[in-house]
Structure 1
């Protein structure tokens, strides 16, 4: 393995981490904006839906790491 391959590998790892954090920040910002605008349904059903949405986002983030 030469130096160029090592540098490329490290750069890809760093770039992937930066992009993932940016996407996560964007998704969180969208979620906060929707909650502030009142798009989330109030009451127990709304809480269940919000919990499922958070769980789906976490799963999507895990899958996206590979």
Structure 2
């Protein structure tokens, strides 16, 4: 294993983590609709939790489908 291979591996991991963190932040913002949780009513907080959970499940399914399609190609 040469140095270039190791650098590429590390860069891929860093890029993946940064991308996933950005996606998670975006999903949180989408679930909150741009509001601060302290300014929300109890009903809005419950809806946010349900929305966040279902959105994360959809993202997980989309990633799994992308993984499967990559294997098929």
TM over 0.5: yes
Distance change in 2, residues 1:54/1:14 (3 Å): same
2 CA distance for matches of 1:62 and 1:10? 26
SS class of match (2:33): helix
Structure 1 length normalisation: TM-score? 0.59
TM-superposition CA deviations, 1:8-61 (whole Å, max 9, x none): 00000000000000001001100000788xxxxx5xxx76xx27x515515734
Q: Does 1:22 align with 2:14?
A: no
Correspondence 1:1-66 to 2 at 5 A: 1-33=1-33, 50=50, 54-55=53-54, 57-58=56-57, 60-61=59-60, 64=63
Length, aligned pairs only: 56
TM-score by length of 2: 0.54
By relative contact order (CA 8 Å, sep 6+), the higher-ranking structure is: 2
Unpaired runs of 5+ residues, structure 2, are: 37-42, 68-73
- Stretches of 4+ aligned residues off by more than 2 angstroms: 58-66
Q: Distance in 2 between matches of 1:15 and 1:8?
A: 10
